Amino acid sequence: MTTAMGAALRRIQLGNALSAFGNGFTVPFLFIYVSQVRNLGASTAGIVLATFAVAALIVLPFTGRGIDRRGPLPVAIAGTVSAAIGSMGLGLADSQSLVVAAAAALGAGIAVIQPSLATMIVWCSTPATRSRAFAMQFFMNNLGLGVGGLLGGQLVDTSNPSSFVRLFAIESVMFLVLGAAIATVRLPKVPKVEDAVPTDASAKGGWRTLVGDRAMVQLCVLGFVMFFACYGQFESGLAAFAVEVTRISPATLGIALAANTAAIVLAQFVVLKLVERRRRSRVIALVGLIWTVAWIAAGVSGLVPGAHGVATALLISTYALFGIGESMLSPTMAPLVADLAPARLVGQYNSAFALVKQLALAVGPAVGGLMAGGGMYVAYIVMLVVCSLGISALALRMGRRLTPAQEIPPRMSAPRTEVVDAAVVVGETDRTPVSV
């Protein structure tokens, strides 16, 4: 990596961490805020949560083309402005129409930011450093969300709406800080054969190219099942199962969620060393097996209600195992999307994968909520065990379509200590080492 690439990447990661920190102030309390603090009811709160997904689904099909035509920087800044306006709007809104409109602005902004930042990280990394860069992004995201959630819990007061205004104001400011941070980033301008910065002003045929890429289509199917079976269940079916079947208290559920974050933060870089030189398809297949064990543990926790301590430990283990699986995916999935993408369509591929994620996050809670509401807990656990095993099968099948370079990223070369002439750096963007 060049010094300029390293500096740009650090600035992107810092801004991303600060925005996650701000996001952590509001995410755990959004449902309570809309339904109870603003007295708009649970149905309106549900509409607000659905609005996030709908807004993302509307803007993401166009986001990739914007990134590839204009570059990720202006698209990301537009997203931060939209998110900041939406966040502050949620804090000030006191009617259903205003709350939904603010949620739409916030959801659209966040949806635009995600593939834009992913593309910027691709531009500012090499195939050898990309896994570590995305692992760092995931680590900082979770650390920021966790710390923000803890601080937000100390500031919030359900009897005082102004305390929530304060939380949303903090989140809004953090989005603007992210925008300011990335606005000062100088993205690399010199393309390389294997890792080019897109210079093609046209993204015509982008979706046609993507749909014709069998490996990418299989990765999108795999991603949908993955997000459906994990993230799509955290706040719906799994939470309902934990409270209604395992009979743990909401406070204990909070501990389980904290165990998930702790597993990610503690395991991320240990896991990275273990997986970055392994076949990506096999790493993903292993995640499927880990999540299979997690769902079996959740199911067993519902069978031992008399042994409350054992049931609680099993449920907390479920969340921790999910965290370990997530830490294995962060240096695997996003870099694989980048390595599959043609240089001129990196934004399109990142946006398509983000779109698949949003679809899963919209369908997952709906299915989980319906099954939990109907008391179909045995069928629910069986379905998710099958989905987890399906992740392993789909990953191994996808692996047969990957090239060796896509399966196993190149090893990071040792830092070079010699002084490199500035003119050489301009011509060869990978000569000057930097520690990230």
234-281 pLDDT tens trace:
766 787 888 788 888 767 777 887 888 889 888 888 888 888 778 999
Q: Up-side HSE of residue 48: CA atoms within 13 Å toward CB?
A: 29
> Are 90 and 168 contacting, i.e. CB atoms less than 8 angstroms apart?
yes
State yes or no: pLDDT of 194 exceeds 60.
no
- What would the pLDDT profile of 48-58 be if each residue is shown by its tens digit? 878 888 898 89
Top-ranked range on mean pLDDT: pick from 31-40, 389-398, 405-414: 389-398
Average pLDDT rounded to a whole number, residues 197-217: 69
Q: How many CB atoms lie within 10 A of CB 164?
A: 26
Distance CA 431, CA 436 (A): 15
Kindly state the DSSP code that residue 366 receives in the 8-state scheme. H
Instruction: Write down the pLDDT at residue 413.
Output: 47
Most confident of the following: 37-51, 138-152, 316-330: 316-330
Question: Residue 25 pLDDT more than 60?
Answer: yes
The amino acid sitting at 150 is L
**Mean of pLDDT over the chain:** 83
Q: Residue 373 CA to chain centroid, in angstroms?
A: 27
Using the predicted structure, report yes or no on whether residue 418 has a pLDDT greater than 50.
Answer: no
How many residues are recorded in the chain? Answer: 436
Mean pLDDT of 375-394: 93
Question: Averaging pLDDT over each range in 10-19, 261-270, 388-397, 412-421, which range is the top one?
Answer: 388-397
For residue 217, which of 112, 328, 340, 331 has the smallest C-alpha distance?
340
- Whether 79 has a pLDDT exceeding 90, the answer reads yes
Q: How far apart are CA 241 and CA 42, in angstroms?
A: 20
Comparing CA positions, the residue from 144, 203, 154 lying closest to residue 343 is 203
Q: Within 13 Å and on the Cβ side, how many CA atoms surround 283?
A: 25
What pLDDT band is residue 429 in, cutting at 50, 70 and 90? very low
- Give percent of the chain with pLDDT exceeding 90: 32
**Region of 205 on the Ramachandran plot (φ > 0 left; ψ -120 to 50 alpha; else beta):** left
Can you give the pLDDT at residue 379?
92
pLDDT per residue as tens digits for the range 120-158? 998 888 888 888 888 888 888 888 887 887 788 788 787
Nearest-angstrom CA–CA distance, 106 and 91? 12
d(CA 59, CA 47): 18
Kindly report which listed range (191-200, 251-260, 302-311, 350-359) carries the lowest average pLDDT score. Answer: 191-200
Sequence-separated (6 or more) residues with CB below 8 Å from residue 53: 107, 358, 361, 362
